[in-house]
Each structure stands twice: as structure tokens, then as C-alpha cells.
Copies of this chain bind each other. A is one copy, B any other.
Amino acid sequence: MSLPYSKRVNELLEAAGLKPGDRVLVEKPGASYEGYLIPREEVERGDPDCVVIKLDSGYNVGVRVDGGATVKKLPGSIRLEKFGHPAPFVQNPELPPVSIISTGGTISSRIDYYTGAVATLFSTEEVLQGVPELAEIVRVRSAERLFNLYSEDLSPKNWCSRSEKVVAKIVEGDSGVLVLHGTDTMHYTAAALSFMIRNLSSPVVLVGAQRSTDRGSRDTDMNLVCASILAGRGDVGEVGICMHGEMDDSYCLFIRGTKARKMHTSRRDAFRPVNDLPIAKVWPDGRVEYVNVSVRRGASKPFPEAVFEEKVAIVKSYPGAPPTLLEALIDSGYRGIVIEGTGLGHVPTEPEDKKMSWLPAVRRGVEMGVVFAVSSQCLYGRTSSQVYRNAILLSKAGAVYLEDMLPEVGYVKLGWLLGHDYDVETVKRLLVTNIAGEIGSRVRADTYLI
């Protein structure tokens, strides 16, 4: 393993008897850094006079070893496999076969010491090498990078290619498929795969990380372990998200793809089920507790319905929201609009300033064949077109109420339905027909803010 530093720094490290993984103390006037020396990978750029030290906090820091700096070897060292460095990954042919499809995101990332930001750098192999426990849970039949994008840059086109790839892997004989994914829009993708993969009875497990792999608080390992347990032998035949259930490294939740949402910008337990219980709790020691009804594992042959109408949008209703955004979408040829209404699914219908009412735009759109689907920005609870006059009017104008569906899921479902050759009435009927667990028969009281 090379230490590709400048000649001066290499000599300094050598003189101190330091090799990668050793504990080191770097002292500079006014500052000192103690931790483990880890290899600097970015040989082609960055400062060759900088050494990278893993501090006891788990964070890595780049320290410039300039004139006034001294370098000292301390007792102790760490395994470097954890940090993406080659370690043997021996497969056990007895274990259930799974495929891993990597699409980018933090789980495939680490800090880029050049810009200081998190960058997508790891290969799928490197991710696996970082979590050697996987070799004891599953046999990784194939691991490939489909693309390498942060999830906020993904588009519905990527959903289509991924659902086809997942179907191919299951048809080839995998027990389940792991999809490594950025977390920002993981719940959109999970919903998309839930609709686009038909006749599924194998686990398709989306998994990501909220912390980059070189941080002490990394969640990659436990998420990957739990996701592999599910993909390998989970008795479930649905698409779902497997991420931390709570802040601690205790267990993961497997959440139905049509009922999951990222509810926190940074916590490891950011993904929560909304209006639903998790399908299962999964412990890294292999225990799985099924806490909700779900499609069971079976031998059905899935097939893709990888279609999406791109002329679909989400529009939020709020005080002062003019109907002009709706008008602009209608005039631009949009075929579907998901409204994030307030409360039970309301929009301005009879405001003091009549020009601010959304009803005329909705009526005009409906006449032109645009499908309006109403969800609630409350997120939790069920919409209703029957309680208040406002919603009764919107419903009479032709808008469809999305029951207890999340706005994001309504968007994915509407785009998917409009991607088919259905007529408008069929789309409206299917919108309120449960297809992939997106509509619950009732909202349980014990699913609020869990």
C-alpha cells in the first residue's frame, strides 16, 4: 500500500516508522492532531504535503505537514479494510444469491479532500470490501454500477432503466436485489419501482447511507447488513427501503416503497413509514420481525412496466398561491398535476379575491383532459372530498382525491399511469385503486409520527 505523499513527507513518515493504519501524532505550532494514519487516495490532485488522519471522533482530517510540523508514531493501529481498502471478499456458494445495483449516493461516497465536500468515488466492490460481514449473509452474484448520480439529479428515466435491471436480476435467479441509492429521492425511486415492477414476489431492497463512509457515525455497514438479510432470505415480496430504525445502531426498518418518506435532513433514522407500519424490523444479528401485512416471498416471475409520462408535476397550495402556475402547466401541455392541498385536500376555491381561486383553472384543465390528483401537505392522515364545501367543489370540478397516499407517491403513480395507453377515466379509476400498497383501507392511529 503506497503512501503517495511528497518526498519530504514520505521521508518524515518513514523516519518515524509509520505505516498506514498506525496511530500518529502530528504537532504544529498551535495545533496537534492525534489519530490513525490512513492512505491518501487522491494521488492526482490535492496537496502531497497533507497527511490524512482519522481522528477518534471518526472524522478524517487532512493535515499539512509543513516546515514547523513534527510527526510521531504512537502505540496502536487499525484495520484498514473498513475504509475501502482491499480485503478478501470470499463468497460462500451455500448462501442465497443476490445482485447489487449501485446508482450512486452517499453510500458510494467518501469525503473528497480536495474540495472538502462529499463526492461519489467508491466502486461497488469497494463498498463490499468495506463491509466484509456481507460474505457471511449472501452470495453476491453480481455487483454493478448502473449509473453514478446523486439522487437529487435522478430522473424518471432512471427509474425505468433500474426497474428493468432489477427484474432481469430476479428472473436470472436472485433471491433478492439490493439497490444502493442516494437518500434524497430514495422514496420516490422506491415508489417508482413498486409500480413499475409487476408480479413481484421477491424482496427488492433500497439501501443508502446518511453519513459518508469515512465518518465515525457511518451507517453504511448496518444498513447493508440488514438489507442483505432481507434480500437473501426475507419472507417478503415487495419493494422497500431498509435504513436505520433509530439513531443508535440497534435495528433497521424495512418500509414499503409506497409508504416511505425521508423525514429528516441528516439523521440516520430519517426514513419513516407514513400512514403505515414498517413491514419489518431487522436486526444486524439476523433476526427479522414482521410487523405488518405484506406480499410474501414467492416464485412469481416479475415483469417490468417501465413507463412514465414526463408531463406530470407537483404543485403546492398555500395562502397567496395563484392559479397561474396551474395555468402555465396546462398551457405547456401537462397531462397530470398532483396538488399538495392543505388539510384534507383543499385549495383556494372561494377567496375574497376571486382571481385567486383555483377552480376555474382546474375546470379548464379537466375539460382539456388533464388529470388533477389531490393529496395533503400534512402528509399524515387521509384526504377527503366529502367533509368541506371547498373539497366538494374541487371534486365536482373533476379532481381525484388520493386517499392516504403521499404527494410524492401520487406523483409517481400518476406519471406511471399516464405512461400507459389508458384513457382519462381509467387513469382516474386506477389512481384510487390500490396497486402496490399505496392506499390503505384505513389509517391506523399507531402510524402517526413513528
Chain A positions within 8 Å of B, measured between CB atoms, are: 115-119, 147, 149-159, 183-185, 188-189, 247, 262-267, 269-270, 272, 308, 310, 312-314, 316-321, 324-325, 328-329, 332, 340-353, 356, 376, 378-384, 386-390, 392, 408, 411, 415, 445, 448-450
Contacts and interface: CB of A to CB of B under 8 A. Distances in A.
Given A378-B262, A378-B265, A381-B270, A351 B154 contact: yes
Contacts of A382: 265-266
Most-contacted residue by chain B among A159, A183, A265 (CB, 10 A):
A265
Contact of A117 (B118, B267, B389): B389
Contact of A324 (B332, B386, B392): B332
Contacts of A119: 389
A367 B231 CA distance: 50
Contacts of A340: 316
Contacts of A320: 155-156, 308, 310, 312, 415
Contacts of A387: 117-118
A108 to B, nearest CB: 13
A128 to B, nearest CB: 24
A150 B313 CA distance: 26
A269 B450 CA distance: 14
Nearest to A380: B264
B356 A155 contact: yes
Given A266-B384, A270-B381, 16 more contacts: A117-B389, A150-B346, A151-B319, A151-B342, A152-B348, A153-B348, A153-B350, A154-B351, A155-B320, A155-B352, A158-B319, A185-B318, A189-B319, A262-B343, A267-B448, A272-B449
A234 to B, nearest CB: 26
Contacts of A408: 318
Contacts of A149: 351-352
B313 A314 contact: no
Closest 6 CB pairs of A and B: A265-B381, A184-B343, A152-B346, A184-B342, A449-B449, A264-B381
B383 A265 contact: yes
* Main SS at interface, chain A: loop
A389 to B, nearest CB: 5
Contacts of A351: 149, 153-155
Most-contacted residue by chain B among A157, A262, A388, A390 (CB, 10 A):
A388
A392 B341 CA distance: 31
A176 B32 CA distance: 56
A379 B316 CA distance: 15
Nearest to A387: B118
Nearest to A309: B320
Contacts of A445: 247
Given A152-B346, A184-B346, A318-B188, A264 B390 contact: no
A34 to B, nearest CB: 25
A415 to B, nearest CB: 7
Nearest to A182: B343
Nearest to A112: B389
Nearest to A340: B316
Contacts of A118: 387-389
6 contacts: A115-B392, A152-B349, A153-B348, A155-B320, A263-B378, A263-B379
Given A247-B445, A319-B159, A450-B449, A150 B378 contact: no
Contacts of A379: 263
Contacts of A341: 152
Contacts of A314: 316, 318, 321
A326 B310 CA distance: 17
Nearest to A156: B320
A268 B266 CA distance: 29
Contacts of A347: 152
Contacts of A450: 449
